[in-house]
Amino acid sequence: MYCVKCGVKLQDGTETCPLCQTPVWNPDQIVRERSYPDSLPERHRESGRTLALGMTILAAVEIIVVMIVCFRLYGELRWGGYAIGGIGLFYIIAFLPQWFHEPKGEIFVPVDHAAVALYVLYICAATGGRWFLSFALPVVIGSCLISTSMICLLKYVRGGRLFIFGGFLIVLGGFTVLVEFFEHLTFGTPMFLWSLYSLSGFAAAGIFLLLCGIIPSMRHELERRFFF
């Protein structure tokens, strides 16, 4: 049995040529004995649980040490609260996902942002500030929405990476303007002092990526020059 297009001889029972995908016409169809079974290997992921356990113990020890030092020296927590919050925040961002076999970004990124918001709320309350609701919270929420939607797009939309990254950079540029706006509202700083620079930088990079997505020759040239 031969492929009419490639001219190569094919195994009995082959339905399409493996090289050119041309359907094979065979009047004496025989069931082909496959050269490999159908079973696929289990997808293995290296577990980070040992690391997570080690870091949990380390974080717990650090927190205990900080508390002992603070209470022995001052009889109260004082700066220890910031240190403990920082350790907790670092642990949640870096090591909490290690406990899970397949940590999902769309879950852990909002969790990380919630942890950041709580830590910032503590700092605001501890320093007697009035900037949490009008500045920190909107900034954290904006950052959370942008990064989570970026992760979801990358995960669930096939292809179009350049458009996703390009759009992300432009939105990020716009977000810096929003940050400055909240800064202006809360602290009374002048508007458009720095955010327009970052907006133009992010927007230029984003537009460049969008152009790369639109123009195939430009994309191929970049792929060839910058592959790694």
Partner 1 sequence: MQKNWYRLDTAALIFPATIRRDWCNVFRLSAGLTEPVDPAVLQQATDDLRKRFPSYFVTLRRGMFWYYLEESRSPVLVREDYAYPLTFMSGAELKRNCLRVLYYRNRIAVEFFHSLTDGRGGSIFLANLVARYLELKHGIVIPRTELIRDPAEPPRAEELEDSFLKNAAEVQADRTEEVSYRLHGTPEKKGFRTLTTGIVETGALLAAAHRYHVSVTAFLAAVMAESIISMQNEECPRRRQRPVKITIPVDLRRLYGSSTLRNFSLVLNIGVDPRYGDYSLEELCSTIYHQLRAYATPQHMAGMIAANVQPQQLIVLRLAPVLLKNIVMNAVYRRTGESFGCLNISNITNVDLPEEMRPYIERMEFIIGPQRSYPNNCSVLSYGGRTYINMIRNIRESELERRFFSRLVDLGIAVEIESNRR
Which residue ranges make up the site for partner 1 (CB under 8 A)?
Answer: 3, 6-11, 17-21, 33-41, 43-46, 217, 220-221, 223-224, 227-228
The half-sphere exposure of 202 on its side-chain side, counting CA atoms within 13 A, is 18
Query: In the complex, what is the shortest distance from the CB of residue 184 to partner 1, in angstroms, rounded to a whole number?
Result: 43
Query: In the complex, what is the shortest distance from the CB of residue 210 to partner 1, in angstroms, rounded to a whole number?
Result: 22
Kindly tell me which of 33 and 76 has the beta carbon lying closer to partner 1: 33
Kindly tell me which of 16 and 134 has the beta carbon lying closer to partner 1: 16
Query: In the complex, what is the shortest distance from the CB of residue 179 to partner 1, in angstroms, rounded to a whole number?
Result: 35
The Cα–Cα gap between 195 and 203 comes to 12
Kindly tell me which of 184 and 219 has the beta carbon lying closer to partner 1: 219
How crowded is residue 166: how many other Cβ atoms within 10 Å of its Cβ?
Answer: 22
CA distances from residue 195 to 17, 71, 127, 170, 203 in whole angstroms, order as listed: 58, 43, 27, 13, 12
Query: In the complex, what is the shortest distance from the CB of residue 28 to partner 1, in angstroms, rounded to a whole number?
Result: 18
Query: In the complex, what is the shortest distance from the CB of residue 54 to partner 1, in angstroms, rounded to a whole number?
Result: 16
* 2 bridge partner residues: 9
Kindly tell me which of 45 and 130 has the beta carbon lying closer to partner 1: 45
Answer for the pair 172, 202: CB distance below 8 angstroms, yes or no.
yes
Using CA atoms of 175, 176, 179, 185 in order, give the dihedral in degrees to the nearest 10: -110
Please count the residues of the chain.
228
Residue with tokens 């220890």: 80
Kindly tell me which of 100 and 182 has the beta carbon lying closer to partner 1: 100
Using CA atoms of 94, 100, 106, 108 in order, give the dihedral in degrees to the nearest 10: -40
Kindly tell me which of 127 and 217 has the beta carbon lying closer to partner 1: 217
Query: In the complex, what is the shortest distance from the CB of residue 23 to partner 1, in angstroms, rounded to a whole number?
Result: 14
